[in-house]
C-alpha cells in the first residue's frame, strides 16, 4: 500500500460505502446520505474523543496534584467514562416546579447542537473537510454566537437566582472575548485572502529553506494572534482560569445549577466539544492544519498530524486548568477590553506591515516592532498596581 492510500483511506471507504447507491438513486438523496455519513463519523469521532478526554483530564490533573486519578474501572481507569455515562443516564431528571419547562428542556440541546455544528467546517485531513463552505470561518463564528442565546435560555428557564447570575456572567464574558477571538483571526484571513478553511490550510503548505514550516504561528503577528486566540478560546469554552460562570464557590454551578442527570452531561459534553472546535480552528488557522512540521515526515497520514496537534492544544487546556486559579470578573473584563482588544487590532496592523514589506527578514523585524511597541505602551498605561491599597475586610472580621 502506498503513502497516498493510507492518507486517503477514509475517503475511499466512504466512496466504497456510497458506491451501491450511485446511479440508482437521485442525486439529492445521494447528497443527503453522504452528509449523514459525514455527520455520523463526526459525532462518533468526537464523542469518543470526549469520553477519552474526560478520563485523561482527570488522570493528568491527578498527576499534577500528586494523586492517582481514576484507576478502578478497566485498565488504567480507561472505562471510567462508560461508568460515568451509565450513572448520568439512570439519574433522576429533576425539573424545578417554577422552571420554564420548554426553555429549560431546549437549552442543553441548543448548546450541544451549536458546538457540534462548529466542528463541521474544520479540515481534518487532505480532502477530509466534512462540509466545505466558502465562508467557513464566518460560519464557525456565526454558529458560536448563538451559544449566548442558549446559555441565556438555560439561565432564564431554570428560574433560579444562581442560574440567572451564572448566565449573565457567561454572556458578559462570551460577548467581551468574542471580539479578540474574531479579530485575532482577521490577520490570517487578510494574508490568505479567503474565509475558506481549506484555502487557509493550503496557504501554509510551503517550507522556508526546505525544512522550516510556513505556519502562521511562526510569524510575529501569527504568534501574537495565536496566543490571543487561545486565551479567548479558553474563555469561550468556560475553562478554568476563566470559569467564572460556574464558579462553584460563589454561584453553585452557574447556569447549570438546576440541571441534573443527562441534561447536565449534555452541558458538560458541549463544553468539551466547544473546546475541540476552538482548538481545531486554532490548528487550522495558525498551526498549519494537517501539514506535517517537516517535509520528510509527510509519509505519516494527514489526519494523524491534525489530531496530534489537536492533542497538544487539548493538553495545554488541561495543563492551564491544573496550574492557574480562577480570576475575578472585573479582572477578566478589564483584561478583555484594555489589553486583548488593542493587541488584537495591533495584530491586524502588524500583518499588514508584514504583507507590504514583502515577507522577508525585514518584514519579520518590522511586524515584530509594531507588536513590541504597542505591548510596551499598553503595559505602561495599564499599571493596575497603582490602585493597590491595604485590604480591608468588611464582613469577615
Partner 1 sequence: MNTVAFAIIAIFTLTFALAAATNPRLMHAALSFAAMFVGIAGFFFLLGAEFVGLVQIFVYVGAVAVLIVFTILLTRRETQPHHGFKWGGVIVAGAVFAGLLWAIIKTSAVSIAAPLVKALTVKQIGEVLMTQYVWPLLCVGVLLTAALIGALVLVMEDRSER
Binding region for partner 1 (CB under 8 A): 28, 100, 102-103, 133-135, 138-139, 141-143, 145-146, 148-149, 152-153, 156, 171, 175, 193-195
Least gap, CB of 350 to partner 1 (angstroms): 19
Phi-psi category of 129—alpha, beta or left, where left has phi over 0 and alpha has psi -120 to 50?
Answer: beta
Say if CB 255 and CB 245 are below 8 A apart.
yes
Say if CB 364 and CB 220 are below 8 A apart.
yes
Say if CB 359 and CB 335 are below 8 A apart.
no
Least gap, CB of 35 to partner 1 (angstroms): 13
Please say which residue, 143 or 217, places its beta carbon nearer to partner 1. 143
Q: Show the cell assigned to 82.
A: 462508560
- 208 forms beta bridges with 212
Least gap, CB of 367 to partner 1 (angstroms): 21
Write the DSSP string, 249-288.
HHHTTGGGTT--HHHHHHHHHHHHHHHHHHHHHHHHHHS-
Please say which residue, 139 or 242, places its beta carbon nearer to partner 1. 139
Say if CB 186 and CB 138 are below 8 A apart.
no
Write the DSSP string, 141-165.
HHHHHTHHHHHHHHHHHHT-HHHHH
The C-alpha atoms of residue 247 and residue 250 are separated, in whole angstroms, by 6
Among residues 373, 307, 363, 261, the alpha carbon closest in space to that of 128 is found at 307
Least gap, CB of 77 to partner 1 (angstroms): 40
Tell me phi and psi for residue 213, to 5 degrees: -65, 150
Measured N-to-C along each axis, helices 136-145 and 147-158 cross at an angle, to the nearest 10 degrees, of 10
Please say which residue, 49 or 113, places its beta carbon nearer to partner 1. 113
Least gap, CB of 262 to partner 1 (angstroms): 22
Q: How many helices (H) and strands (E) does the chain have?
A: 16, 2
Least gap, CB of 178 to partner 1 (angstroms): 8
The C-alpha atoms of residue 282 and residue 181 are separated, in whole angstroms, by 10
CB-CB neighbours of 112 under 10 Å: 20
Please say which residue, 71 or 194, places its beta carbon nearer to partner 1. 194
Please say which residue, 196 or 224, places its beta carbon nearer to partner 1. 196
Least gap, CB of 4 to partner 1 (angstroms): 30
Please say which residue, 80 or 351, places its beta carbon nearer to partner 1. 351
Least gap, CB of 221 to partner 1 (angstroms): 19
Please say which residue, 30 or 308, places its beta carbon nearer to partner 1. 30
Chain-centre distance of CA 391, in angstroms?
37
Please say which residue, 107 or 231, places its beta carbon nearer to partner 1. 107
Please say which residue, 172 or 223, places its beta carbon nearer to partner 1. 172
Measured N-to-C along each axis, helices 27-64 and 101-119 cross at an angle, to the nearest 10 degrees, of 100
Least gap, CB of 25 to partner 1 (angstroms): 13
Least gap, CB of 83 to partner 1 (angstroms): 36
* CB-count burial class (<10 Å; 0-12, 13-18, 19+) for 78: middle
Among residues 353, 373, 341, the alpha carbon closest in space to that of 179 is found at 341
Amino acid at each position: 500500500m502506498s503513502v497516498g492510500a493510507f492518507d486517503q483511506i477514509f475517503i475511499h471507504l466512504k466512496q466504497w460505502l456510497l458506491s451501491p447507491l450511485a446511479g440508482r438513486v437521485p442525486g439529492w438523496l445521494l447528497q443527503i446520505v453522504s452528509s449523514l455519513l459525514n455527520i455520523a463519523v463526526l459525532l462518533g469521532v468526537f464523542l469518543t474523543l470526549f469520553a477519552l478526554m474526560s478520563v485523561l483530564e482527570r488522570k493528568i490533573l491527578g498527576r499534577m496534584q500528586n494523586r492517582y486519578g481514576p484507576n478502578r474501572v478497566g485498565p488504567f481507569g480507561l472505562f471510567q467514562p462508560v461508568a460515568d455515562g451509565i450513572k448520568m443516564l439512570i439519574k433522576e431528571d429533576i425539573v424545578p416546579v417554577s422552571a420554564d419547562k420548554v426553555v429549560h428542556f431546549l437549552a442543553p440541546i441548543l448548546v450541544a447542537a451549536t458546538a457540534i455544528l462548529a466542528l463541521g467546517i474544520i479540515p481534518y485531513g487532505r480532502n477530509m473537510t466534512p462540509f466545505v463552505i466558502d465562508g467557513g470561518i464566518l460560519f464557525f463564528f456565526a454558529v458560536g454566537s448563538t451559544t449566548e442565546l442558549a446559555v441565556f435560555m438555560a439561565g432564564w428557564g431554570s428560574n433560579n437566582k444562581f442560574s440567572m447570575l451564572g448566565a449573565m456572567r457567561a454572556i458578559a464574558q462570551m460577548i467581551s472575548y468574542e471580539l479578540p477571538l474574531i479579530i485575532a483571526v482577521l490577520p490570517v484571513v487578510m494574508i490568505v485572502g479567503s474565509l475558506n478553511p481549506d484555502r487557509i490550510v493550503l496557504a501554509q503548505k510551503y517550507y522556508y529553506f526546505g525544512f522550516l514550516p510556513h505556519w502562521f504561528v511562526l510569524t510575529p503577528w501569527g504568534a501574537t494572534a495565536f496566543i490571543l486566540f487561545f486565551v479567548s478560546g479558553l474563555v469561550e469554552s468556560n475553562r478554568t482560569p476563566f470559569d467564572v460562570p460556574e464558579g462553584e464557590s460563589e454561584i453553585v454551578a452557574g447556569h447549570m445549577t438546576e440541571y441534573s442527570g443527562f441534561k447536565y452531561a449534555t452541558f458538560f459534553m458541549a463544553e468539551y466539544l466547544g473546546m475541540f472546535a476552538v482548538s481545531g480552528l486554532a490548528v487550522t488557522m495558525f498551526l498549519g492544519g494537517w501539514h506535517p512540521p517537516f517535509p520528510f515526515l509527510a509519509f505519516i497520514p494527514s489526519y494523524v498530524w491534525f489530531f496530534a496537534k489537536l492533542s497538544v492544544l487539548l493538553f495545554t487546556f488541561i495543563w492551564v486548568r491544573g496550574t492557574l486559579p480562577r480570576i475575578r470578573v472585573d479582572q477578566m473584563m478589564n483584561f478583555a477590553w484594555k489589553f486583548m482588544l488593542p493587541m488584537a487590532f495591533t495584530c491586524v496592523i502588524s500583518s499588514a506591515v508584514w504583507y507590504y514589506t514583502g515577507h522577508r527578514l525585514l518584514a519579520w523585524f518590522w511586524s515584530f516592532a509594531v507588536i513590541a511597541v504597542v505591548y510596551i505602551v499598553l503595559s505602561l498605561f495599564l499599571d493596575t498596581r497603582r490602585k493597590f491599597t491595604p485590604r480591608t475586610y468588611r464582613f469577615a472580621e
